[in-house]
Structure 1
Amino acid sequence: MERNAILSAASAYARDGALTDDLKRLVAHRSISQSEGLPEDLMRYLDEEMVPLLVGMGYKTDIFDNPREGGAPLLIASRIEGEDLPTVLTYGHGDVCNGEPGRWREGLDPFTLTIEDGKLFGRGTADNKIQHLINLKALEHVIKGRGALGFNSKIIIEMAEETGSYGLREFFSEQKQALAADVLIASDGPRLAADTPTMFMGSRGGLPFDLVVNLREGDHHSGNFGGLLADPVIILSHAIASIVDARGQIRIPEWRPTSLTNDIRRALKDLPPRRHDADWGEAELTPSERVFGWNSFAVLAISAGNIAAPQNAIASSARARCQLRFVVGTDVDDILPALRRHLDAHGFSMVEVLGLKEEPFRATRFSPDHPWVGFVERSIAASSGKPPHVLPNLAGSLPNDAFTDILGLPTIWVPHSHAECGQHGPNEHALLSIADEGIRVMTALFLDIADHASELRKTA
């Protein structure tokens, strides 16, 4: 009866408006870590929202300066109930991408929560404010319902995930003892299907970089100099076309992974269909293999001249912001050197390859055979009434390597968003239906961890 009462209270929190009230406050914080943001807004999110919530739940909280100059603050919270109990670490990021209000449809504002037909619109709704809110509130419902968690809990909230988790790895190295745990259970990224829970144990890596062609000072009249002066836009376009073919298949050998093994193919075989273009990506791979088991190259933005008011002139320079998403088995330290060798070999020595301030997210996978993975999978299946989709890794990128490589933890992610959420773009939104199921799933999982604490401690 106690368990049912706790789960009912958790569902009521999502269904009766309390969750949206809390989310409204979180979304109103302009906690942007990209170019539109202010450092004081990042700190305000921790001071005004996270600290009061966690202190009220009986956690000890500390806010730390980022170990790297210009980095965003980080928060560690802990609730230790017994040295003989397992310790669960969870994670969230309170920072968001640029709001870009001009790109949102009429009637929506990125920092005002708007509810329409079960959709919760606002910057950070899906990525990541509702996700860590659900997990923290699930912990709170267990504490309120039982008077204790029944296990130890540690929480890390960072404010720079959207800029590559700048400084996070140095911070983890400094705070290894404070963050020591038995497992990471956290939420980010999307479900594979909105109506079915998803688990993944790693993520694709991500490395942004710029390609630049800078030929001369100033633009030159296209009549007087057309046919005489090289066009940097055309050169850059051909350089990009040498990296991938017309359907986006990667042409750089070092960027083509060798880690799509038979066991990974089997894990991806029976996943539900995803929205995709049939004539895009690796022709010999299934859609699931393309997004979870392979590398992908993207041009995120490209600039030359003034598209809003084009002039009859040959541009002096052109720039493209590019990105490689990559799976385990790709040598992250050789990505840009391999690109440099490729461009030189194809006659594009004039194209500069520029790395960025943002740190790369390294690719990770964790064994699905680990006891914690099986435990979480069984708990989710029981509480939701359906087996979750279990993925070897997320298609997107997360700082998962900081947890696996520095803290040495098994990592399990249970996302509370969906693939069509619009994260990083206009009209970002979460689904109330996922929030309702998500908080029940997480509350049940934390109850299950408490009920099996002694056997789970032995798996450490």
Structure 2
Amino acid sequence: MIPDELLAEARRHVDSGRFFGELAVLVGHPTVSDRPEGRAAIETYLSEVLTPRLAALGCATEVHPNPDPAGGPFLVGTRLESPELPTLLCYGHADVVDGHAGQWSEDRDPWTLTADGDRWYGRGAADNKGQHLITLTALRLLLEHQGALGFNLKFLFETGEEIGSPGLTEFAEQHDELLRADVLIASDGPRLDAATPTLFLGARGSVRIALDVDLRPDAYHSGNWGGLLRNPATTLAGAISCLVDGHGRIQVPELLPERLPETVREALEGVTVANTPGDPVPDEGWGAPGLSPAERLYGWNTLEVLSLGAADIDRPVNAIPGRARAMLQLRYVTGTDVAAVAGAVTKHLAAQGFPMVRVTVESSYRASRTPVEDPWVRWARAVLAELSPGPVALLPSFGGGLPNHVFTDVLGLPTLWLPHSYPGCLQHAPDEHLLAPIAREGLVLATGLFHALGQRALSRSAAPIPRR
């Protein structure tokens, strides 16, 4: 049983304003990873904010250089209680996106945490400072309550997640012994909605597909040359419709998974998406037919047009443009042969009469997930169900992108993601915010989950969870 007084202390920590004050300090560091001044702020954040908090957990800490010069350093904290105990790996990212100063409502400063009702505004409040502060605080409350965690702890902080986690894969490969653990429990991304505690097991991957129709250096008068010269914009529109039709349905079989696994279908049964007031309403008839909205979002592939243009769309002239370009994005689940995307798209377009379209593919995070039937998943889901007065959503994959593959594919770990934000938090945009009720409930859930991990590890009567 999880002690009531421990959970009550987690609630008091938020209700008293202490958590808000601590988060304000974290938000005050402008740790923007794609700016030189942000890199300096990151170093201060690691040394003055995160290192002392890890040390308070009894962790030995070390900052490691990034093997990729495009990325920032890594901070690793390690607490070893006993070699007989399981080892938990936690993860967070210290960096944030640009603050968009001057664009926030009510003239808010992105680097000053401000409260408006239940909304706590500030850059990083939701992504990811508020979330890794919940993890750190839950571990500290547990340690203070019982004098030990009941498991070994390793905590990895990266500083370049917002720029694609450069060097993270290589770092994990080079330091697999340092990061060796039995399970990853981390917090990032949104819940299913503001009211529903959520456990997700991985992430869809992301591939950007650039289409370029560059036919001639000059534009020619549409009255004198229309009907004689191929229009790159018309060509591009036709090419896109061969890849994804006007109803969002992917037309290239190689860009789709073979099937929706039955375990994924069962996990998503009854899951309702876009369930928070203010969310847009999913469009009827859009996307893959025969799938529920949850299956399309968390269990299937989508191909979206991110940008599309030719000439000056705001001030058009009577001329056939010489060039048109578009950027598409494939969000894909495990089972998709992402290495074949460029060739499949090029071949498909040529077969449809569009060999003049140049295709360039750039990969980002790879798709990966822990199997729904993994024993760690069953354990965590049962613990969270005990802690939550309502249902807990289990999502096989998060809809967006995370470096989950580093933990599943490189380190060989089962991954459990317990997010403490929601889809409407405006992360990466002006007015990013953390909801106070989610912070409160999230701290209770995290504290209870860590306590249950320690008790299971210490209990001789409990069936052991398989170690990796």
**TM-score between the two structures when normalised by the length of structure 2:** 0.90
Q: Does 1:88 align with 2:88?
A: yes
Aligned to 1:346: 352
Q: What secondary structure is seen at the aligned counterpart in 2 of 1:125?
A: coil
Aligned to 2:394: 390
Q: Does 1:326 align with 2:332?
A: yes
The question of whether the paired residues in 1 share the 8 Å contact of 2:193 and 2:273 is answered with: no
Q: Does 1:282 align with 2:288?
A: yes
Give 1:420's match in structure 2, choosing from 414, 424, 430.
424
Q: Mind listing any 5+ residue stretches in structure 2 that lack a counterpart?
A: 275-280
Give 1:405's match in structure 2, choosing from 405, 409, 412.
409
Aligned to 1:367: 371
Q: What secondary structure is seen at the aligned counterpart in 2 of 1:450?
A: helix
CA distance in 2, matches of 1:399, 1:207: 14
1:140-181 per-residue CA deviation (whole Å, 9 max, x = no partner) reads: 111222222121111111122223222211110001000000
The question of whether the paired residues in 2 share the 8 Å contact of 1:377 and 1:387 is answered with: no
Instruction: Kindly provide the amino acid, as one letter, of the partner of residue 339 in structure 1.
Output: V
Q: Mind listing any 5+ residue stretches in structure 1 that lack a counterpart?
A: none
Quote the offset at 1:281 in angstroms: 0.9
Instruction: Kindly provide the amino acid, as one letter, of the partner of residue 440 in structure 2.
Output: D
CA distance in 2, matches of 1:35, 1:225: 47
Aligned to 1:440: 444
Q: Does 1:25 align with 2:25?
A: yes
Aligned to 1:238: 238
Aligned to 1:453: 457
CA distance in 2, matches of 1:368, 1:399: 19
Aligned to 2:110: 110
Identical aligned pairs, as a percentage? 43
1:333-388 per-residue CA deviation (whole Å, 9 max, x = no partner) reads: 112221121222222222222234xx532222322332222221122122223341
CA distance in 1, matches of 2:465, 2:262: 32
Quote the offset at 1:307 in angstroms: 5.1
- Matched ranges for 1:130-145 at <5 A: 130-145=130-145
Change in Cα spacing, 1:314 to 1:109, as seen in structure 2 (3 Å) is: farther
- Matched ranges for 1:116-135 at <5 A: 116-135=116-135
Quote the offset at 1:431 in angstroms: 1.0
CA distance in 1, matches of 2:3, 2:44: 35
CA distance in 2, matches of 1:143, 1:18: 18
Task: After superposing the two structures, state which structure 1 stretch, 371-380 or 28-37, moved more.
Answer: 28-37
CA distance in 2, matches of 1:15, 1:333: 49
CA distance in 1, matches of 2:106, 2:160: 29
Aligned to 2:170: 170
Instruction: Kindly provide the amino acid, as one letter, of the partner of residue 435 in structure 2.
Output: L
The question of whether the paired residues in 2 share the 8 Å contact of 1:2 and 1:145 is answered with: no
Task: After superposing the two structures, state which structure 1 stretch, 180-189 or 160-169, moved more.
Answer: 160-169
Count, aligned residues: 458
Aligned to 1:271: 271
Change in Cα spacing, 1:263 to 1:150, as seen in structure 2 (3 Å) is: closer
The question of whether the paired residues in 1 share the 8 Å contact of 2:264 and 2:372 is answered with: no
CA distance in 2, matches of 1:154, 1:216: 57
Q: What secondary structure is seen at the aligned counterpart in 2 of 1:280?
A: coil
**TM-score between the two structures when normalised by the length of structure 1:** 0.91
Change in Cα spacing, 1:8 to 1:338, as seen in structure 2 (3 Å) is: same
1:294-344 per-residue CA deviation (whole Å, 9 max, x = no partner) reads: 100112234544556666655443333321111121112112221121222
Q: What secondary structure is seen at the aligned counterpart in 2 of 1:297?
A: strand
Aligned to 2:303: 297
Quote the offset at 1:78 in angstroms: 0.9
Change in Cα spacing, 1:456 to 1:41, as seen in structure 2 (3 Å) is: farther
CA distance in 2, matches of 1:247, 1:103: 34
Quote the offset at 1:427 in angstroms: 2.7
